Amino acid sequence: MAAGAGTAGRLLRLRAAGAGGRWRRLRGAGVPRGFLQPASAGEDTAQSRRVAHFTFQPDPEPLEYGQTQKMNLFQAVTSALDNSLAKDPTAVIFGEDVAFGGVFRCTVGLRDKYGKDRVFNTPLCEQGIVGFGIGIAVTGATAIAEIQFADYIFPAFDQIVNEAAKYRYRSGDLFNCGSLTIRSPWGCVGHGALYHSQSPEAFFAHCPGIKVVVPRSPFQAKGLLLSCIEDKNPCIFFEPKILYRAAVEQVPVEPYSIPLSRAEVIQEGSDVTLIAWGTQVHVIREVASMAQEKLGVSCEVIDLRTIIPWDVDTVCKEECFLNLEAPISRVCGYDTPFPHIFEPFYIPDKWKCYDALRKMINY
Amino acid sequence: MKGQPPVSPRRGAGHRGLLAKMAVAAAAASVWGPSRGLGQAGLLLLRRTGVRGLARSQPERQQQQQQHFSSLDDKPQFPGASAEFIDKLEFIQPNVISGIPIYRVMDRQGQIINPSEDPHLPQEKVLKFYKSMTLLNTMDRILYESQRQGRISFYMTNYGEEGTHVGSAAALDNTDLVFGQYREAGVLMYRDYPLELFMAQCYGNVSDLGKGRQMPVHYGCKERHFVTISSPLATQIPQGEDACPGPAVGAAYAAKRANANRVVICYFGEGAASEGDAHAGFNFAATLECPIIFFCRNNGYAISTPTSEQYRGDGIAARGPGYGIMSIRVDGNDVFAVYNATKEARRRAVAENQPFLIEAMTYRIGHHSTSDDSSAYRSVDEVSYWDKQDHPISRLRHYLQSCGWWDDEQEKAWRKQSRKKVMEAFEQAERKLKPNPSLLFSDVYQEMPAQLRKQQESLARHLQTYGEHYPLDHFEK
């Protein structure tokens, strides 16, 4: 993670997630920022069909939260952060490069609006970022830390697992860092290779004391992020980076929350249950329609949303073991680091999911 | 303290900042405008400002420069450092033979060396220093023994370092937040943490504020602003902006934002200072301008590892300037030196929103913990020297005696009294029950998740059938 090469590497890799190599460059700026502007709906569909392994399916416009606005996922994140800083004077946002708006533009405009003591850069040091965030939270102030890529969360692993997660328990509830939220871009992006593609939620899935959340869409992202920030426990919020621009839908302008530890049944079904989180939800949605069309199979589609503590009741009733007609099938990446050129073969795409479903039906 | 404080690198930022801005403008000019005219004009502007800037703050250097160079186009423009060019190849030699000097107020016999450094503390306060240190020492002896007898599972003594705890604690406000490592019980002692609660934590009984969750000596007290100790080393440091400094730094940042007029103090040993978290904490505290005191207890050993295997530089104090942090080294066995340094650091950290680093030199007279036998790696003579010739408690006692504030009779009476107090608290703590086993499950999250409640119920059912195999008699029902 040498600052120079690493940063350059990261900037290069920001080439339009899903833009199929097309990139608009702003004159003079070192960072090719153009591609980070939200694409229009028409362009979006074209982009996603061309390159991505999924098709983002927006949810219907939510009507119960007041006025909505078209936002992509990073804008939904900005909106959530904006709402938080407006409402809570103790809230601060910090991490690498957040001051100018962040490498994924999630914090654009916030420093100007809220001041440099509230939105600021830190030195390049993930263990420091999380440790610092814990300290802010221990005093009761709201700390929103950004880890630039989930792949870089590991130096902070000790702080998260040994400190943040255990703060309340080990002190007998004298102290806690519940007002800490860590947000981080997550997951495959088409060209991220080993260090810009990782989905490390499994490392945290068995760590009591923290919550880990992954949204599938802009609307989900804003509501879940706001819940994480409000939640009185330290939370990690992973943002599927491939969806930052590719996912666009109507999102309420005002704050709202989506409950944590509650999975969502997106589609009812009677034959097979498909479960995923983040980007993969869109893959399995497509697999569900393929299954209906080609096999006449009715699929239940569940977005897990919170990885820990997870919604056991929605996913499996206590007697489900005796009721399963086939063993549970897991479709995921291979047990290798995330490769670059081989990404199309590595990821659990709809064909692999469909094939697993087909085998399961024929079990 | 006396004289002009040395200018920290930050203070030069204004001059450097101006140059940096001009440099960016010049660079931008040469990118956008015609490469000749505008670029040259831009550089001319830079030169003029440069000269004026130099003239105001560094007349001598400018003179020297004019002697050597025909134009000032040659000044370094790098954003990364404010420095002059040099045309001679020379490596900086780290100075470890005569390192940063050690500030002290009393000599080893407890006599004030330089009267103007005497803090002239009132008798009552100095007696409190003495009683805190000696009470801690007495408690340490009794609890160490109790571990040897199998009554508590583990203990760590503070022998030889009592001065670092009490001197620093006394210089803080009671509401200043403390992040400790694990050998700072004297800070709590000075803040009047009752013996009952020290014992309760070591025994993990129903009175333990920590609900029996941690090993002995992992104290915490919200009321006394002492954050609960955690085992992983140096983790309190970034937090304090825990043995990580990071959290300490974060807390200091929040205190600054809240205009709390509070300082955060973060204690750690010279071993913990090797952790990456220490580096992170120092750097964050400096860049984010946090009101924090980093207090390093350099006691010569990290378990069996002597300082010669822990670092090659001039201890921890020498690292401070590398981060842009005001730093000092003090005699940790001189409670007044510790007091003076901490007092001044506190005043300035809060007033100026910058971190301070105090390296208190001391010696760990006891073993690392009850799991350690230090005769395996150091000589009895070495330990005996410190115990007999340079101990914070005896030095202070000499001072007290020479002031006429203490004598042998009072010493005898106090020893008896303090031992009695400790024994009473100890016996009571031992008799108390442990907390109800259901407390195993609470406080993981603020609310108990459904799955955990199921596990709690499952343990309760299990105990109904198999309870005889568990030490339920010692636990509250």
Q: What is the pLDDT of residues A30-54, one digit of tens each?
A: 444 434 444 444 444 444 444 689 9
- The per-residue pLDDT for range A160-176, each reduced to its tens digit, is 999 999 999 999 999 99
Could you give the CA distance from residue B219 to residue B228 in angstroms, rounded to a whole number?
5
Task: Dig out the tokens for A247 from the structure.
Answer: 């996912």
- The answer to whether A168 contacts B249, with C-beta atoms less than 8 Å apart, is no
Q: Is B231 a catalytic residue?
A: yes
Inform me whether the pLDDT recorded for A115 exceeds 90.
yes
Q: How confident is residue B70, by pLDDT bands cut at 50, 70 and 90?
A: low
Higher local confidence (pLDDT), B168 or A5: B168
Q: Which of B6-10, B66-70, B165-169, B301-305 bottoms out in mean pLDDT, i.e. has the lowest?
A: B6-10
Residue A248 φ then ψ, to 5°: -135, 130
Inform me whether the pLDDT recorded for B297 exceeds 70.
yes
- The pTM of this model reads 0.84
- The per-residue pLDDT for range A185-199, each reduced to its tens digit, is 999 999 999 999 999
**For residue A166, what is the nearest residue in chain B, using CA coordinates?**
B444
Cα pseudo-dihedral B48, B54, B57, B60, rounded to 10? -140
The pLDDT value given to residue A318: 52
Average pLDDT, chain B: 88
Return the residue matching tokens 């030169």. B47
Asked if A170 is an interface residue toward chain B (Cβ–Cβ < 8 A), one would say yes
Q: What percent of chain B has pLDDT over 70?
A: 84
Q: Which helix (H) or strand (E) holds A185?
A: strand A180-186
Residues of chain B with C-beta less than 8 angstroms from the C-beta of A127: 238, 246, 276-277, 280
Which residue of A28, A162, A172 is in closest CB contact with B210? Answer: A172
Residues of chain B with C-beta less than 8 angstroms from the C-beta of A306: none
Asked if B449 is an interface residue toward chain A (Cβ–Cβ < 8 A), one would say yes
Could you give the CA distance from residue B114 to residue B1 in angstroms, rounded to a whole number?
13
| B243–chain A nearest CA distance, Å | 11
The pLDDT value given to residue A139: 97
Based on its alpha-carbon atoms, the radius of gyration of chain A, rounded to whole angstroms, reads 20
For chains A and B, CB pairs below 8 A equal 187
Residues of chain B with C-beta less than 8 angstroms from the C-beta of A139: 177, 250-251, 254-255, 258
The residues facing A251 across adjacent strands are A69
Q: What is the mean pLDDT of residues A217-232?
A: 98
- The per-residue pLDDT for range A279-304, each reduced to its tens digit, is 999 999 999 999 999 999 999 999 99
Counts of helices then strands in chain B (DSSP H, E):
16, 10
The pLDDT value given to residue B72: 61
The residues facing B301 across adjacent strands are B306
* Catalytic entry in B35, B57, B231, B379: B231
Q: What is the mean pLDDT of residues A128-151?
A: 98
Higher local confidence (pLDDT), A323 or A157: A157
Asked if B251 is an interface residue toward chain A (Cβ–Cβ < 8 A), one would say yes
Interface test with A, best of B30, B225, B244 (most A CBs within 10 A): B244
Q: What is the mean pLDDT of residues B418-441?
A: 96
Q: What percent of chain A has pLDDT over 70?
A: 85
- Tell me how long chain A is: 363
Q: How confident is residue B239, by pLDDT bands cut at 50, 70 and 90?
A: confident
Asked if A309 is an interface residue toward chain B (Cβ–Cβ < 8 A), one would say yes
Could you give the CA distance from residue B404 to residue B399 in angstroms, rounded to a whole number?
9
Secondary-structure breakdown of chain A: helix, strand, coil percentages, each rounded to the nearest 5: 40, 15, 45
The pLDDT value given to residue B207: 96
Could you give the CA distance from residue A168 to residue B442 in angstroms, rounded to a whole number?
9
Q: List B residues 264-303 in contact with A (Cβ-Cβ < 8 A).
A: 264, 276-277, 279-281, 283-284, 287-288
Return the residue matching tokens 């790696």. B377
Cα–Cα distances in angstroms (integers) from residue A244 to residues A72, A217, A281, B380, B389, in the given order? 6, 9, 15, 65, 67
Could you give the CA distance from residue A34 to residue B63 in angstroms, rounded to a whole number?
49
Exposure b/e, A286-318, CB count within 10 A at least 16 = b? bbbebbeeebebebbbbbbbbbbbbbeebeeee
Q: What is the mean pLDDT of residues A53-76?
A: 96
Residues of chain B with C-beta less than 8 angstroms from the C-beta of A309: 445, 449-452
The pLDDT value given to residue B42: 39
Q: How confident is residue B21, by pLDDT bands cut at 50, 70 and 90?
A: very low
Inform me whether the pLDDT recorded for B269 exceeds 80.
yes
Exposure b/e, A164-174, CB count within 10 A at least 16 = b? bbbbbbbbbbb
Q: Is B153 a catalytic residue?
A: no
- The answer to whether A178 contacts B449, with C-beta atoms less than 8 Å apart, is no
Q: Is A206 a catalytic residue?
A: no
Q: How confident is residue B245, by pLDDT bands cut at 50, 70 and 90?
A: confident
Could you give the CA distance from residue B425 to residue B184 in angstroms, rounded to a whole number?
20
Residues of chain B with C-beta less than 8 angstroms from the C-beta of A232: 445-447
Q: How confident is residue A317, by pLDDT bands cut at 50, 70 and 90?
A: low
Q: What percent of chain A has pLDDT over 90?
A: 79
- The per-residue pLDDT for range A246-268, each reduced to its tens digit, is 999 999 999 999 999 999 999 99
Residues of chain A with C-beta less than 8 angstroms from the C-beta of B222: 174-175
